[in-house]
Amino acid sequence: MVAYEPMLRRGKRAWRYVFASAAFVEWVKVDMPAIVPEHSEDGSPCEQFEQEMYGFCSGYALAFGSDTRCLEPIRLSVWELKTPDLRMFGWFCAKNYLVLHKGEKKGPEGLERWDDYKPFIDEVVSFRNGLVTNLPQYVVGGLADVVSNRSESI
C-alpha cells in the first residue's frame, strides 16, 4: 500500500486519507493518462483525479451519488469515487481512511451498465480479503459512517 499525499495549501493537513494498492498505482500511471475526456471543460483525467483527491483529502463535503456511492450489495462495503471520466473503487478501512484498488474509465467504452461493475466489486473484495491484518477490514454503513466533513471554519 502507498499513502497518497495530496498537494495541500501551505500549513494545511489532510482531513481524510487515501491509500492505494500497487494495482491502483499502476492504473494511475499507465492507463489513466491514456483516457480521453468526454468533455474538454472537465479537464484531463489526471486533472480530474488530482482535483478529486484534493477535495477528498481536504475534507470537502461529498455528495452521495455524484461524488461517491456504496455499490451493491451494500454489505460488501465497496465504494466508488467518481469524476466526470473516472471511476475508482475501494473501501474504507476506518472512518476517513479510503483504500483504492481499481480504476476504470466511465462509459461508453468503460462502465455503462450495472453488470459492468461486478468484476470491480469482486476484485476489490478479493484483494481486501487477502490482506493480512489484525485491524477491522472495512467499515459498514452509509456515507456518514465512512467520512466526516471538515467544518468551513477550519
- Please provide residue 55's backbone torsions phi and psi, each rounded to the nearest 5 degrees: -65, -40
pLDDT of res. 64: 80
Q: What is the arithmetic mean of pLDDT over 70-77?
A: 92
Per the CB < 8 A criterion, the answer to whether 35 and 105 are in contact is: yes
Pairing label, strands 2-3, 68-70: unpaired
Per-residue model confidence as pLDDT tens digits over 16-39: 999 999 999 999 999 999 999 988
pTM above 0.75, yes or no: yes
- Taking a C-beta distance cutoff of 8 angstroms, is the pair 4, 21 a contact? no
CB of 109 within 8 A of CB of 38? no
Cα–Cα distance measured from residue 96 to residue 114, given in angstroms and rounded to the nearest whole number = 26
Inter-residue contact 147 to 62 (CB < 8 Å): yes
pLDDT of residue 66: 82
pLDDT above 70: residue 151 = yes
Residue 152 has a pLDDT of 60
Which band of pLDDT confidence, cut at 50, 70 and 90, is reported for residue 133?
Answer: confident
Rounded mean pLDDT of 2-25?
Answer: 85
Domain coordinates of the chain in residue numbers? 21-35+42-131
Instruction: List strand residue ranges (DSSP E) for the chain, in order.
Output: 2-3, 17-20, 68-70, 79-82, 86-94, 97-105
pLDDT of residue 31: 95
What is the average pLDDT score of the chain?
A: 88
